[in-house]
A and B are shown apart, each in its own frame.
Chain A
Amino acid sequence: MTIGDYQRRVIRQLTAIGVGVAVLAVVLWAVVAVRSDRPIVYGDITDHFKYGSIGSEPGGSLLAPIGGALPPYEVFKALPAICPDRLPGGYASLGLIFEPGHDLPIGVSRRRRLGIDQVGFNCALCHTGTVRDTPPAAPRIVLGMPAHQLDLETLVQFILDCSLDSRTTDESIAGRFAETGGRVSLFERILLRFGFVDRLKVTTLDLRQRIAPIFANTVPRWGRGRVDTFNPYKSVQFNWPLDKLPQSELIGATDFPSLWNQQPRDGMHLHWDGDNTSVDERNLSAALGAGVTPATVDHAAIKRVRDWIWTLPPPSYPYAIDRALAAQGAVLYQQSCLDCHADHRFRDGVKAGTRVGEIEDIALIATDRHRLDSYTAEFAANQYALYPDSEYRFKHFTKTHGYANQPLDGIWLRGPYLHNGSVPTLRDLLEPPERRPALFYRGYDVFDQANVGFVSSVATADGRAFTRFDTALPGNSNSGHLYGTTLPDADKRAIVEYLKTF
């Protein structure tokens, strides 16, 4: 062996070792990047509620991502510019609320998963609303109130359709990154080179196919402020072929509820049909709707929200109240309403009345029954296997036969009324069904102090088209709940005045 041979051998060996170490480093870096799971953490609880992640971003493995309803952060931001014709007014026109200093709306969280910045929905999406005193006034953002202005169905459809649009490509996404000056990591650049958008389209297509029957023409649109909680769940969680269900079972849209003052609600029948008695389980169920899976859910983050809404006070009525009239109303309320709905002290945890949180039989309450029928015993049977093999497994769901009596804390912000949001104001609710508005508009956030509710006669304003609500459509009936409808007009006005104090 000559010296030259020896040197060459050493060099060869060193090169091999060097290449090996480099490959190992790259692999390690990729593994760490893909497996890292880092939410943006907010110290302030209201910021956490508005922008914090509950784990609803896609996760799992890069090859078979699970959960999530939204494309990655940069794509989510780019979509309105890529498909301007599909959403001319941008996200804000759908009722998503943008605050200064934030590039994402309230209700959309950001979290690093699968090596890139992902976004997901959180509780605030459907439980944060806006109110205005008058048309020129600035909107007030109220955390925990129903997102009566949000058109969730159109939002989801836009995301699905634009993600699948031919204009959405690796190149157009990369182009948007460049234009907006977004910082693109090396990893994201590599992903974009290797069919990233194609894979996104595959998962989007699967989601769209699963929920397509809900968005079919035979099902009336949810419209602003409403969601069908359980039908998407049947297909997204359990992959039921929805097209084989009776058509009427796919009609299940109801109002978003308020999220404040949860403590006194624990143990009551929750959800509109009272199908669950556990606040925590109800929360985890709603989180599934936002896009978590039992494997990607962030229990600690949900617990933070839960602890906060446990005692979050309902906002007090900010306008003038005729105290004398309200006092008269209190007496009438006691006779006609209190037993089922508790009184103004529920905000302090006082559960007056014997039937608060109990279920009223559908024959008695006689409101639209579609929502009740959309929740079936077969579905409950499937839910018991959710969050399997863990302390969180669902144990409190049941099929019921009516709608649950709700406490009325903060009721002034919870319009439109009834479970399906078919009656625009409290004053209208005290009229018999034939005198309640048959057609009105939902989603405008100017407050109607006379009737208590939102102004419901405006079709468009500030570039937004509001939801034309037709009570003749299936699922939208404004019948039933006749309590108080036979009282004299003065009594009705007094009750409405008293309800302002809730």
Chain B
Amino acid sequence: MLRRPALLWLVILTTVVGAVAYVKFFRTEPPPYFESAEEHFLFGSVGSEDQDGIPYWIWLVLPRVFPEYLPGPGGYAGLGMVAKDAHEMPVGVSKTTIGFPRVGINCAMCHTGSVRAAPDEPPMIIPGAPAHQLAWQQYRQFLFASASDPRFTADTLLAEISKNTRLSLLDAALYRLVIVPRTRNALLRQRDRDSWMQRNPAPGRGRIDAVNAVKFGILKQPQDVTVGAADMPALWNLKAHRRYQWDGAVTVAQDAAMSWAVNIGARTRWLDRDFEEWNDSRSREMSSLRRVLNYVSALQPPKYPFGIDDRLAATGAAVFTRSCASCHAIGGSRTGSVIPAAEIGTDTQRVDAWTSASATAYNAYGDGHAWKFSGFTKTAGYAAAPLDGIWARAPYLHNGSVPSLVDLLETADRRPARFFRGYDVYDRTKLGFVSIGPEAERRGTLYDVTQPGNSNAGHLYGTDLPADDKRALVEYLKTL
């Protein structure tokens, strides 16, 4: 007689707890919709919040609780994350609600650049440009260092959160009992997963070792000692490209887009859902990744914002046709193909970091899914890229070892051996960003060409041109 009400209560309790748990931890709200394709690229969700996402309120206050783990003052902006049009989230950071508001990243994080005409000018934010100012690995290390700090506790974080919002009693309890401890554990797991970073030289601003992050973190390949750090590339006019990644190892645009969602934390079930709408043409309904891909396929490179000497540029055009066009003009005979590393002579670490086994593993990653990859290959060189918007793509070469185009037209022994990357004031004489001086040093990270993966050797094309031809060529490059 007594059992039945007890059972009833148990059922009611379980239902209530289950319902609360579902609503508070799992219920996925539709991600914020952005009318313009540009805003979708800059702030939209590509599915990274679920797995590697950080609870919004923790993410918001973390730089205020642990400023000592950031490279300098400025919060996330100090890491080179940029703001655009007064959006709350920095460019490249998405916010969606899966149970609770979570923060993820998207393509624009590494593919939106900041350019300033002078130190006291407001920055121009250029979608699709390499995020040469972004200290990506330092951001990851900031998160890891914060999670490793004994002050990463509900007490500390909730005290800071309470300055910004009034969490309900239930939400505060969930943060205290579940969300804060689980976030800490998740970040510590990521730290351990990324422990290989420690043995390599820090990539510094504008660079990322994505190859090894994928190889070890996602494809679970055996550890090796390669250094895969390379520049973040520009992401515009993609329709003019035939191969993707510096080594040209990806041959299918769709695979390039979807695999990057995987790389930054999208789960297969998110990809399944997103891919269902791949061919939908209505912007509100269509696949988020397809929308991004369409945007960057058509995105035009930014015009050079400073003066161009048209006559000199016309002279330079002839030099370009003679010396560069076969590999770098859109439609050039070798443009888009992989040039053997031995022929170019640039640093080989990046191409060696990607293995045949990794390519095979990534092609098998989506087995059984409609979006299964097939475009991953292993190459033995670097892809000859079209030079559209090249002025905004400094520093140069795949590893960003040469600060300016003028330097690139010098032989390796005359290129700078030590310089600073990440300062966003533009150098109109040399075509690149200001890479020496106190401000470049304060804002940037040191680049040392003697470190593994950092060699500035190779790509000697044009280095033997007469000085006048070099000047004309550089002027012409401004027009691309």
Question: Is chain B a partner of chain A in the same complex?
Answer: yes
Interface residues of A (CB under 8 A from B): 60-61, 64, 66-67, 234, 237-242, 244-246, 293-295, 362, 369, 372-373, 376-382, 384-385, 388-390, 393-401
The interface residues of chain B lying within 8 Å CB-to-CB of A399 are: 122-123
Contact in complex: B75, A66 (CB < 8 Å): no
Q: Give min CB distance, A325 to chain B, whole Å.
A: 42
Interface CB pairs A-B, < 8 A, 10: A66-B163, A240-B74, A242-B73, A377-B123, A378-B78, A384-B86, A385-B88, A388-B165, A389-B101, A401-B120
Contact A64 B162 (CB under 8 A): yes
Q: Quick check: B67 and A239 within 8 Å, CB to CB?
A: yes
Of B75, B101, B155, B165, the contact of A382 (CB 8 Å cutoff): B75
* B192 contacts A by Cβ under 8 Å: no
* Complex Cα–Cα for A67 and B164 (A): 10
Q: Is the CB of A398 within 8 A of B122?
A: yes
CB distance from A232 to the nearest CB of B (A): 14
Most chain B C-beta atoms within 10 Å of own C-beta, residue among A238, A362, A376, A385: A385
Known: A373-B120, A381-B77, A384-B87. A241 touches B68 (CB 8 A): yes
Beyond A67-B163, A293-B164, A400-B122, is A244–B72 a contact (Cβ under 8 Å)? yes
B414: interface (CB < 8 Å): no
Give the CA-CA distance A362 to B74 in the complex, in Å: 24
In the complex the two chains form, what is the Cα distance from A251 to B155 in whole Å? 35
Cβ–Cβ contact A401 & B74, under 8 A: no
List B431-474 residues whose CB lies under 8 Å from chain A: 442
Q: Is the CB of A238 within 8 A of B78?
A: no
Q: Is A395's CB under 8 angstroms from B163's CB?
A: no
Mark B residues whose CB is within 8 Å of A. 60, 63-65, 67-68, 72-78, 81-83, 86-88, 90, 101, 120-123, 155, 159, 162-166, 442
**Chain A residue, CB-CB nearest to B81:** A381
Residues from chain B with a CB closer than 8 A to the CB of A394 are 86
- Enumerate chain B residues within 8 angstroms of A372, measured Cβ to Cβ: 120
A294 in contact with B165 (CB, 8 Å) = yes
Q: How far is the CA of A396 from the CA of B64 in the complex (A)?
A: 22
CB distance A60 to B163 under 8 Å?
yes
Instruction: Determine if B162 and A393 form an interchain contact, defined as CB atoms under 8 angstroms apart.
Output: no
Query: A64-B159, A377-B122 known; A388 and B164 CB under 8 Å?
Result: yes
What chain B residues lie within 8 Å of A64 (beta carbons)?
A: 155, 159, 162
- Are A382 and B74 CB-contacts (below 8 A) given A67-B163, A238-B63, A389-B165? yes
Number of A-B residue pairs at CB separation under 8 A: 96
A-chain residues with CB within 8 Å of residue B63 when the two chains form the complex? 238-239
A294 nearest CB across to chain B (Å):
5
Complex: how many Å from CA A59 to CA B448?
50
In angstroms, Cα B72 to Cα A294, docked, is: 25
A-side contacts of B120, CB under 8 Å: 362, 369, 372-373, 401
Q: Which of A239, A246, A294, A400 counts the most chain B CB atoms within 10 A?
A: A239
- Assess the A393–B88 pair: CB atoms within 8 A: yes
Contact A293 B163 (CB under 8 A): yes
Cα distance A61–B77 in the bound complex, in angstroms: 30
Closest A residue to B90 by beta carbon equals A381
Residues of A within 8 A of B73 (CB): 234, 240-242, 244-245, 378
User: Smallest Cβ distance from A230 to chain B, in angstroms?
Assistant: 13
Asked, given contacts A64-B162, A382-B77, A401-B120, whether A395 binds B60 with beta carbons under 8 Å apart, the answer is no
| A246 and B122 within 8 A (CB) | no
How far, in whole Å, are A338 and B19 apart by their CA atoms in the complex? Answer: 66
Q: How far apart sit A355 and B290, CA to CA, in the bound complex (Å)? A: 46
Given the known A-B contacts A239-B67, A382-B74, A384-B88, are A246 and B164 also in contact in the complex, defined by CB atoms under 8 Å?
no
Given contacts A381-B83, A381-B90, A382-B75, contact A238 B162 (CB under 8 A): no
Least distance between B4 CB and chain A CB atoms (Å): 30
> Which residues of chain A are within 8 angstroms of B83 by Cβ–Cβ distance?
377, 380-381, 384
Within the assembled complex, what's the spacing in Å between the Cα atoms of A378 and B83? Answer: 8
- For B80, the closest partner residue in chain A by CB is A378
Q: Given contacts A295-B164, A398-B86, could you give 9 more A-B pairs where the C-beta distance is less than 8 Å?
A: A239-B65, A377-B83, A378-B75, A381-B74, A384-B86, A388-B88, A393-B88, A395-B86, A401-B122
Closest residue to A294 on the B side, CB-wise?
B164
CA distance A400 to B123 in the complex (A): 10
State in angstroms the CA–CA spacing of A30 and B78 once bound together.
43
Instruction: Compute how far the CA of A88 lies from the CA of B83 in the bound complex, rounded to whole angstroms.
Output: 48
Q: Indicate if the CB atoms of B86 and A397 lie closer than 8 Å.
A: yes
In the assembled complex, the Cα of A369 lies from the Cα of B121 at a distance in Å of 13
Minimum-distance CB pairs A-B, first 9? A381-B83, A240-B73, A378-B77, A64-B159, A381-B77, A378-B74, A399-B122, A395-B86, A239-B64
Interface centre among A64, A67, A390 (most CB of B within 10 A): A64
A254 to B76, CA, bound (A): 28
Q: Which of B72, B76, B88 has the most CB of A within 10 A?
A: B88
In the complex, which residues of chain B have a beta carbon less than 8 angstroms from the beta carbon of A377?
77, 83, 122-123
Give Cα A251–Cα B76 distance, bound, in whole angstroms. Answer: 23
The chain B residue sitting closest to A61, CB to CB, is B162
Give, as a whole number of angstroms, the nearest-CB distance from B466 to chain A. 38
Contact A294 B78 (CB under 8 A): no
- Give the Cβ gap from B58 to chain A, nearest Cβ, in Å: 13
Q: How far is it, in angstroms, between the C-alpha of A237 and the C-alpha of B82 when the chains are bound?
A: 19
The CA of A396 and the CA of B101, in the complex, are separated in Å by: 24
Residues in A neighbouring B82, C-beta threshold 8 A: 381
Compute how far the CA of A142 lies from the CA of B90 in the bound complex, rounded to whole angstroms: 43
- Assembled-state Cα–Cα distance A377/B82 (Å): 9
List of A residues within 8 angstroms of B65 by Cβ: 239
Q: Which of B81, B122, B164 has the most CB of A within 10 A?
A: B164
Q: Is B60 in contact with A388, judged by CB distance below 8 angstroms?
A: yes
Chain B: CB-nearest residue to A400: B122
- B151 CB to nearest chain A CB (Å): 13
Tell me the smallest distance from the CB of A272 to a CB of chain B, in Å: 15
Q: In the complex, which of the residues B65, B73, B166 has the most CB atoms of chain A within 10 Å of its own CB atom?
A: B73
B77 and A385 form a contact (CB under 8 A): no
Nearest chain-A residue to B101 (Cβ)? A389
Chain B residue nearest in CB terms to A243: B73
Q: Give chain A residues whose Cβ lies under 8 Å from the Cβ of B88.
A: 384-385, 388, 393
B138 to chain A, nearest CB (A): 15
Q: Hey, which chain B residues are within 8 Å of A389, CB to CB?
A: 101, 165
Residues from chain A with a CB closer than 8 A to the CB of B90 are 381
* A413 to B100 Cα, complex, angstroms: 52
The distance in angstroms between the C-alpha atoms of A239 and B75, with both chains bound, is 9
Q: Which residue of A lies closest to B64 (CB)?
A: A239
How far is B118's CA from A362's CA once the two chains are assembled, in angstroms? 13
The CB with the most chain B CB atoms within 10 A, among A64, A245, A381, A396, is that of A381
Give the CA-CA distance A393 to B86 in the complex, in Å.
10
- Give the CA-CA distance A315 to B382 in the complex, in Å: 73
Chain A residue with Cβ nearest B119: A373
What's the minimum C-beta distance from A370 to chain B, rounded to whole angstroms? 12
A246 touches B64 (CB 8 A): no
Give CA–CA (A477, B135) in the complex, Å: 37
Complex CA gap A246/B72 in Å reads 11
Q: How far is the CA of A56 from the CA of B165 in the complex (A)?
A: 15
* CA distance in complex: A246, B443 (Å): 11
Q: Which residue of B lies closest to A389 (CB)?
A: B165
Taking CB atoms, residues of chain A closer than 8 Å to B165 are: 294-295, 388-390
In the bound complex, do residue B67 and residue A240 qualify as a contact, i.e. CB atoms below 8 Å apart?
Answer: yes
Distance of A407 from chain B, by nearest CB (Å): 25
Query: Which residues in A have their C-beta under 8 angstroms from that of B159?
Result: 64, 66
* Bound complex: CA A240 to CA B442 (Å): 15
Contact of A238 with B72 at beta-carbon distance under 8 Å, contacts A64-B159, A373-B120 already known: no
Query: Do the beta carbons of B163 and A294 come within 8 Å of each other?
Result: yes
* Bound Cα distance from A270 to B133, whole angstroms: 30
Closest to B72 in A: A244
> How many Å lie between the Cα of A395 and that of B164 in the bound state?
16
Quick one: closest A residue to B125, CB to CB? Answer: A377
Which chain B positions have C-beta within 8 A of A294? Answer: 163-165
Measured between beta carbons, the chain B residues less than 8 angstroms from A373 are 120
Identity of the chain B residue whose Cβ is nearest the Cβ of A293 in the assembled complex? B163
In this complex, which of B68, B101, B121, B163 has the most chain A Cβ atoms within 10 angstroms of its Cβ? B163
A365 to B121, CA, bound (A): 16
